[in-house]
Amino acid sequence: MSTLIVHHLERSRSQRLLWLLEELELDYTLRTYERTEAARAPAALREVHPLGKSPVLQHGEVVLAESGAIVEHVLDELAGGRLRPPPGTEEHRRYRFFLHFAEGSMGAPLLAKLLFDRVRRAVPFLGNVIANKVDAAFTLGEIRAHLAFVEDALDGREWLAGDELTGADIMMGYPLSAALERGRLTERFPRIEAYLARHTARPAYQRALAKGGPFGLPR
């Protein structure tokens, strides 16, 4: 097998790639990057991929960015059928939906929440007024709607695609954790909380934490 190199940014969604590789028990080299004082990725990541984002996976001569694309590549090329339901099944359709839902539908309001929370801190009075309007008109309602959707999707299920962990679950951990932390929630989502507890209880997840550093969300 060609060499795997993971370019991992501390306290970022690239933690999910480490978890994926640990679940598959694949050997890889880890290169960790510290965030700048502005909580951004360092310029050194642009030397690896033009977008300068993380994660980036080098698989031999292939350099891949975008979490979902990386997960699909790893499962296509290296997983031997693991962490993905058989094509043509309802489980596979659910797997494919949540694999893309994680950074698609859930990603936009979470990014908006992060950015406008930074506006709040940068311009305390006016920023707070603007951010509150955006939260009321868009972000908080969208975050709650997505959490309610996932809460319903977990009814009677251990994992989002069925009875077994899949790459979709690995993708979903980060946005769900971010939504619960940033959503200013008054309600509880007990199925999601139990689902995330199942994530963190897995030995592969704990190995990923030990290698990649504490899981955290940028602010």
Q: What is the mean pLDDT of residues 94-114?
A: 92
56 and 136 assigned to the same domain: no
Residues in CB range of 216: below 8 A, 6 or more apart: 10, 11
Residues in CB range of 177: below 8 A, 6 or more apart: 196, 215, 217
64 and 142 assigned to the same domain: no
Residue 132, in any domain of the structure: yes
SS3 sequence, 156-213? CCCECCECCCCHHHHHHHHHHHHHHHHCCCCCCCHHHHHHHHHHHHCHHHHHHHHHHC
106 and 157 assigned to the same domain: yes
pTM of the model: 0.92
Q: What is the CATH number of the domain that holds 79?
A: 3.40.30.10
| Cα(35)–Cα(30) distance, integer angstroms | 16
Distance between alpha carbon 190 and the CA centroid of its chain, in Å?
A: 20
Q: Cα dihedral angle (15, 21, 23, 26), rounded to 10 degrees?
A: -150
Q: What is the CATH number of the domain that holds 145?
A: 1.20.1050.10
Does residue 74 carry a pLDDT above 90?
A: yes
Count of Cβ atoms closer than 10 Å to residue 14 Cβ:
25
Residue 217, in any domain of the structure: no
Handedness of CA 142, 9, 15, 50 (dihedral sign): positive
End-to-end CA distance of the chain: 38
Tally the domains of the chain: 2
* Per-residue pLDDT tens digits for 12-21: 889 999 999 9
Does residue 1 carry a pLDDT above 60?
A: no
Query: Which residue(s) pair with 6 in the sheet?
Result: 30, 57
The token pair that represents 32 in the structure block: 């960790």
The token pair that represents 180 in the structure block: 């619960």
* Per-residue pLDDT tens digits for 30-64: 999 998 888 888 999 999 999 999 999 999 999 99
Residue 19, in any domain of the structure: yes
- Using a pLDDT cut of 90, give the percent of the chain over it: 70
Please give the residue range of the domain that contains residue 80. Answer: 4-84+206-212
Does residue 162 carry a pLDDT above 60?
A: yes
| Cα(78)–Cα(191) distance, integer angstroms | 31
